[in-house]
Amino acid sequence: MNRMEPMPQTLPRLKCLVVDDLDENLLALSALLRRDDVEVLTARSGPEALELLLAHDVALAFLDVQMPEMDGFELAELIRGSERTRDVPLIFVTAGGRDPYRLFKGYESGAVDFLYKPIDPFILRNKAEVFFDLHRQKQMLREEIRERTEALRFNEMFMAVLSHDLRNPLSALLNSAHLLQMGSKEPMVQETGARMVATGRRMGRMIEDLLDITRARLAGGIPVAPVATDLGAIVERVVHEQRALHPSRCIDVQRNADLSGRWDPERLSQVASNLIGNALQHGTAGEPVLVRLDGSDRSAVTLAVENAGAIDPTILPHVFDPFRGVQREAKRGDGLGLGLYIVREIVEAHGGTVTAQSNVERRTTFTALLPRTARRSSAT
């Protein structure tokens, strides 16, 4: 298969502004600056120059210092005062002497250089070329960022569509595995069916994670639908499921005060499942996982999951980044590294915060603080 070469991008012509109240000066400077890839804009006054700057993306501006009504210094201050034009390089052109006060005033008003009349064409062209090259590099960088942003959005949309469409064939495979188990009592068939079911469910969790990350990136956050919810009941259900999956591990739950609020129960179930599953997976084997629920604060409820074992200080600041799980040891990998990222997105969608702490006593704690009333976010 032949590799497709990228299409060459044609960047727009550069634009240079020359401001002078004398026609002969405009003509002379325009003739020196004009070339195939440069368009020279001319203005005979400050107001006319400001109008051109609002309409055009200018790479460089030459301002005559001595002009009636509005001199070059005043014009420069107005250019620097506008968000759109403040980064346009300004070169003053003057027939006056090298007065230190005028130099100071010029640089203070935003000039990058001075040119003195009579102007040396070689110096003019070389100074202009430096700023033209810089502007061209900025144009190319902006275009590259635009193309990469577009490609990233396309990839995320593709991932969303693919993840969504994978659910149907995966459901068919899971149903077939269940039928296989029901249709035979042979130990080998039962074992094969159970392995297919377990693998299918793991793939299903990965697909849901991919869907969640695309929802978060494309829709500006994971949607939540808050209803009256008991966080304690949600966590107890998740703990029961995790104990069934990890019968040799100990999970202790501590509850305190009122644990009710208005949250999305399905999303909070994801939060609890990911945090407890993460503690079981990465915590020290044989040590219990502690889940603490605290509703003593009237405005918020805290969910904290603690396990034995420390996180590398270099990794700790990035534990909520997507795909950070792929940096861990392959033998401990159990997914795409999206679990903690999704936890953060869900908690923040509820208006809360989630933090990670790991101390010298080799204990790690993830703490989610949830306002009792979450803001509503419509599903996409």
**CATH architecture of the domain with residue range 14-119:** 3-Layer(aba) Sandwich (3.40)
Number of H helices, E strands in the chain: 9, 12
Q: For residue 332, count CB atoms less than 10 angstroms from its CB and return exposed for 0-12, middle for 13-18, buried for 19 or more.
A: exposed
Helical H segments across 11-93, by residue range = 23-33, 46-55, 72-80
What's the token pair of residue 335? 């997914």
- pLDDT score of 317: 87
**Nearest of 42, 100, 93 to residue 65 by alpha carbon:** 93
311 by Cβ neighbours in 10 Å (0-12 / 13-18 / 19+) ranks as middle
Alpha-carbon span 340 to 325, nearest angstrom? 9
Q: Per-residue pLDDT for the chain (380 aa), expressed as one digit of tens each? A: 343 344 445 667 899 999 998 888 899 898 888 888 889 999 999 899 999 998 898 999 999 888 888 888 888 888 888 888 888 899 888 876 666 666 666 677 767 888 888 888 888 888 899 889 998 888 888 888 888 877 766 666 666 666 666 766 777 787 888 787 787 788 888 888 888 877 877 787 777 777 777 766 665 667 788 999 999 999 999 999 888 878 899 999 999 999 999 999 988 998 998 899 889 988 888 899 999 999 999 999 999 999 998 888 888 888 888 766 444 444 444 555 678 888 998 999 899 999 999 886 789 999 999 999 876 554 44
Helix axes 121-183 and 187-218, enclosed angle (nearest 10): 150
**pTM for this structure?**
0.53
**Sign of the dihedral through C-alpha 82, 84, 87, 88:** negative
d(CA 319, CA 297): 27
What do you get for the CA distance between the two ends of the chain, in Å? 38
Return d(Cα 342, Cα 212) in angstroms, integer: 7
- The CATH H-level superfamily of 227-371 is Histidine kinase-like ATPase, C-terminal domain (3.30.565.10)
Placement of tokens 């506008």 in the chain: 82
**Which residue has 């002969």 as its token pair?**
24
**Quick one: which H or E segment has residue 170?**
helix 121-183
Q: Which two tokens stand for residue 309?
A: 């074992």
The Cα–Cα gap between 332 and 9 comes to 45
List of E strands, 186-242:
227-230
Torsion of CA 220, 368, 287, 320, to 10 degrees: 30
- The full set of domain ranges for the chain reads 14-119, 154-218, 227-371
Question: Which residue has 């969504």 as its token pair?
Answer: 164
Dihedral (CA of 143, 147, 150, 156) sign: negative
Which DSSP symbol is given to 30?
H
